[in-house]
Amino acid sequence: MIAAIRKVWSRAVLKILLASFVLLVIASVPVGIRAYSTLVEEQRTTTLLSYNHRGEYDYIAYLKPNQFYDNKLTLRPGEGTLYTNLVENLDITFTYTFVSTQTCDITVEYTITTELEAPDKWLKSFPTGLENTIVSTGKVVEFSVELSVDPEWIRDIADNLERETGASSSTYNFRIKPTINLLSKSSAGVVDESFVPELVLSFMSGSAEGNQIVIENLENSMSGSITETYTISHPEVSNERNIFTAISAIGLVGLLSTGLLFIKTKPQVPEKLIEQLVSPFEGVIVKSSTEPPREGVAVVGMKSLEDLVYVGEGLGKPVLHFEKPGEKGVHIFYVLDGQTKYEYVFELSKKLGRK
């Protein structure tokens, strides 16, 4: 009875421990996910200063007397197509603006050059003499420059270069290239960079739309910033990772060990117990369908089946095996020698710890 209680209690304790370790492992999962999805050290960047370069072009096209525009003599951007045969002159204004979020000591050096090219054939540069240096303190610096473009002069230059090179084109690009070098100093740091807001005037001929001057890139801009990168440590993440490691290790080790113990303490199948008992003596044990005699015989109890087999071999008698029909699990092994019965009783209920 005591052995049976101990066995039942042992498996009950193992079940409780097994369930506890399973819950421990499951509970550690969200801790691990949170700990390993957060960086121990985090890089952050803050903007100390922001700035913007802006280059804008405006123009007035002066026209020859014409019927197409009802003798209108000027065109501004967006007011109509610039037909080459109608445009007498182009006055172009370039405006540069630098804006900063902090007060800076600013030095701006600019040079404006022009180029005429036949795409993929030749290119010729022309200095304009427009250059200057501007020194200022503040958040904004601005200047404007005016240029005049004569289509007839461009046509004459293109004709001369065609004759000299033998390379002609249906399109000529006249480029206005301001090169702006800016040096800005502030408490946030230094900005030292160049900005080239190029304007392209394409003189196109021979197309279905007619001979035109197409102007591109009227607005240009470039932004930047001075930033600072710093590191933020999260020691609590390291603690969470250590806690997760400890909890998961305890949970897994406990789960494996209690699981193995639980499997080992699993009750054996009754049939297997009988097979294990009888298998070493299969040659000398004979199954009997008749209940062994009870009256008129002296019963000698044996401590083990092995002892009974030894007696049977000594007497030259077989060991009979009888299972009580009404008492399943009670197996009687016996040897008859005249009026003496040598007997070994095997009860499964006792072996399995049952009442």
Least confident of 93-107, 202-216, 311-325, 340-354: 340-354
Nearest to 187 by CA among 46, 48, 50, 52: 48
Tell me what the mean pLDDT of segment 166-179 comes to.
Answer: 94
Q: Is the pLDDT of residue 178 over 70?
A: yes
Task: Measure CA 342 to chain center.
Answer: 79
Q: Are strands 319-323 and 285-287 parallel, antiparallel or unpaired?
A: parallel
Q: Which of the four pLDDT bands, split at 50, 70 and 90, describes residue 289?
A: confident
Write out pLDDT tens, residues 110-119. 999 999 999 9
Q: Is the pLDDT of residue 284 over 60?
A: yes
Q: What is the pLDDT of residues 184-209, one digit of tens each?
A: 999 999 999 999 999 999 999 887 88
User: Of residues 21 and 146, which shows the higher confidence score?
Assistant: 146
Using CA atoms, how far apart are residues 81 and 212, in angstroms rounded to an integer? Answer: 7
Binning pLDDT at 50, 70 and 90, where does residue 351 land?
low
Q: How far apart are CA 9 and CA 265, in angstroms?
A: 11
pLDDT (average), residues 229-250: 79
Q: Is the pLDDT of residue 3 over 50?
A: no
Is a pLDDT exceeding 80 seen at residue 285? yes
Contacts (Cβ under 8 Å, ≥6 apart) of 79: none
pLDDT at 253: 78
Which pLDDT does position 355 carry in this prediction? Answer: 42
SS3 content of the chain, % helix, strand, coil (to 5): 30, 45, 25
* Pure H helices in 49-104: none
pLDDT exceeds 70 at position 214: yes
pLDDT at 10: 66
Compare 37 and 330 and report the one with higher pLDDT: 330
pLDDT of residue 354: 46
In the prediction, which pLDDT does 266 show? 58
- Average of per-residue pLDDT values in the chain: 86
Band the pLDDT of 233: cuts 50, 70, 90.
confident
Sequence-ordered strand ranges (E) for the chain: 41-63, 74-75, 82-83, 87-118, 122-149, 171-186, 189-195, 199-204, 212-216, 219-233, 285-287, 298-301, 319-323, 330-337, 340-347
Assess whether pLDDT exceeds 70 at residue 264: no
Over residues 10-57, the pLDDT tens digits come to 667 777 877 777 777 787 777 777 777 777 777 888 999 999 999 999
Lowest pLDDT segment from 59-73, 164-178, 225-239: 225-239
pLDDT of residue 6: 46
Note the pTM of the prediction, 2 decimals: 0.59
Three-state SS at 59: strand
Question: Which of 66-80, 161-175, 240-254 bottoms out in mean pLDDT, i.e. has the lowest?
Answer: 240-254
Average pLDDT over residues 75-88: 95
Averaged pLDDT, 279-304: 83
pLDDT exceeds 90 at position 216: no
